[in-house]
Amino acid sequence: MDRIIEKKRFTLKRILLLSGAVTFLGAVLYGFILGDRSAKLNVELERITISTVTQGPFREFIPIRGNVVPLLTIYLDAVEGGRVEKKFLEEGSMVEKGDPILQMSNPALELSVMNQEALLFEQINNFQTIRINLDQQAITRQNQLIEADFQVREAERDYSQKEELFKRSLAPKLEYEKSRDNMEYWRKRYEFTVETLRQDSLYRHGQIASMEASVERLQMNLSAVKKNLENLFLRAPVSGQLTLLDAEIGESKSQGQRLGQIDVLDGYKVRAYIDEYYISRVSQDQTATCELAGQAYQLVLKKVYPEVRNGQFEVDLEFTGEVPPDIRRGQTLQIKLALGDLTEAILVARGGFYQSTGGNWAFVLDPSGRFAVRRPIRIGRQNMEQFEVLEGLKPGEKVITSTYENYQDVDKLVLK
């Protein structure tokens, strides 16, 4: 008897086909949902620069360029205008304090001095005449006081006698009253003379003080004019080198015009220009370094000029220790100016990546070293060698610090 054999729905062949289909579909779904869909780029290791993130001391500084100038420069200006009559020295000459440099003439100034002298002598003569008159008037008042004192004494004696006689009825009342009135008159006359003499004395002293002050002012004016006349003879105010003398014989110079300059050769400083972006962060006593012939030299910022020209402001720096030997005026120095104190920070080396990313992201290597992925970071301060990392990186991690010029749209770099 035949038996109906049921056909199997899941044969080995079907199971194998179904398993293969499920595996393929799972792979597709995994690749679509969970797989790495980022933009990739293969990069050769020799074409990139890799730097290790570190933690250590950090100081922000900026590079500046400065020129060597003398520590002190004295400018020679024409205090009074005039015509150059004679030159005693030429540019480049070494001078000692007080050495004559040039001589000018000014006829108008010379005439003014003569007029001032004549006015002074005239005023002195007038004051002497007034003083003699005051002295004579004082003598006259003294004589009047002596006469009044004598008359008071005479009137008092006469009154005493008349009073005694009148009391004894030996003198008439009229004579007694007359002697009394005469005594009172001379007493009042004496008091008036004393007061007049006192007032005249005060007036005399005031007049004399005023005259003496006037004479002193005239003498000071005359001295000032004579000093201006002396200023036509230009002398070296300090010892040094006459590095500039802009004057020729016969040339006319106006008042305040620059005639030259003297450099004091006791030391040198560096005058540098800094971008105005840093003007709020630059102040006196900040330190700086420069290198010459492989040796480092220390400087300190001594003066900040507030004026900004062409987007830059000016500063003066001085050497704090050893001065470079054979340094020359006008020599250019490359200087690193520190903008803050030494602090502990997470650091990464400077590189071209910053120009491409603005410090907002970087390619960080996987621990395997086979690829690098794009990661957001935040850069803080910087100097010529390092960036300060505020967020996104840890010490020991490795970062590609070369340029990202061709990696702007890439999320992952595969290193080969």
Structure confidence by residue, pLDDT tens digits, 122-179: 887 888 888 888 888 888 888 888 888 888 888 888 888 888 888 887 778 888 888 8
Residue 283 has pLDDT above 80, yes or no: yes
Per the document, the length of the chain is 416
> Which tokens hold the place of 339?
């903008």
In this prediction, residue 22 carries a pLDDT of 63
CB of 247 closer than 8 Å to CB of 100: no
Residue 308 to residue 298: CA distance in whole angstroms? 26
Please give the pLDDT value at position 34. Answer: 46
Average pLDDT over residues 190-207: 84
Closest CA to 196 of 246, 238, 141, 150: 141
CB 315 within 8 A of CB 284: no
Model confidence pLDDT, tens digit, residues 1-51: 455 555 555 566 666 666 666 676 655 555 544 445 557 888 888 888 999
Is 57 a residue whose pLDDT tops 50? yes
Q: How far apart are CA 299 and CA 307, in angstroms?
A: 22
What integer pLDDT is reported at residue 1 of this predicted model?
Answer: 45
**pLDDT tens by residue, 316-372:** 999 988 888 878 888 899 998 988 777 889 999 988 899 888 889 999 999 988 899
Q: What is the pTM of this model?
A: 0.50
| Contact residues for 72 (Cβ-Cβ < 8 A; gap 6+) | 238, 263, 264, 266
Mean pLDDT of the chain: 84
CA distance linking residue 361 with residue 358, whole number of Å: 8
CA angle 355, 334, 263 (to 5 degrees): 145
Coil, strand or helix: which one is 158? helix
Handedness of CA 152, 154, 158, 163 (dihedral sign): positive
What b/e sequence results for 278-313 when a residue is b if at least 16 CB atoms lie within 10 Å of its CB, and e otherwise?
Answer: eeeebeeebbbebeeeeeebebebeeeeeeeeeebb
C-alpha closest to that of 289 among 249, 322, 329:
322
Residue 81 predicted with pLDDT over 60: yes
Of 55-64, 120-129, 263-272, 283-292, the least confident:
120-129
Q: What angle do CA 330, 335, 341 make, to 5 degrees?
A: 145
Packing angle, helices 173-230 and 107-167, rounded to 10: 170
**Residue 4, CB half-sphere, CA atoms under 13 Å: how many?**
2
CA dist list (Å): 260 to 78, 237, 411: 9, 12, 65
- C-alpha 250/C-alpha 88 separation (Å) is 14
**For 51-58, what is the mean pLDDT?**
91
With beta carbons less than 8 A apart as the criterion, state whether 254 and 84 touch.
no
Contact 356, 403 (CB under 8 A): yes
Mean pLDDT of 375-380: 92
Q: Which helix (H) or strand (E) holds 251?
A: none
Q: What separation, in Å, do the N-terminal and C-terminal C-alpha atoms of the chain show? A: 74
